[in-house]
Amino acid sequence: MKEVQPEWSSSAVQVVDYDPQWPIFFLELKTVLANHLGSKILRFEHVGSTSVQRSSGQAED
């Protein structure tokens, strides 16, 4: 893990190593949201640093 201070942010963010659980977390959240929102949602997409295998990502606070 490493902390970085992006120019666009007033606070530092933590960048962590890739976690193979990220795709699983996305699928679990997608299932919960799809069950609650039904046909109001056209599709879900996993984007950002956590969607790229073997890429570091920003940790949640």
Domain tally, the chain: 1
pLDDT at 23: 87
By residue range, what is the domain housing residue 23? 12-58
pLDDT at 31: 93
pLDDT at 20: 87
The 8-class DSSP code of residue 39 comes to G
pTM above 0.75, yes or no: no
Spatial contact of 18 and 53, defined as CB atoms under 8 Å apart: yes
Low-confidence ranges of the chain (pLDDT < 50): none
**Over the stretch 28-37, which tens digit does the pLDDT of each residue have?**
999 999 999 9
Q: Which amino acid is residue 47, in one-letter code?
A: V
Query: Does a structural domain hold residue 4?
Result: no
Given phi > 0 = left and psi -120 to 50 = alpha, else beta, which region is 54? Answer: left
Query: Does a structural domain hold residue 5?
Result: no
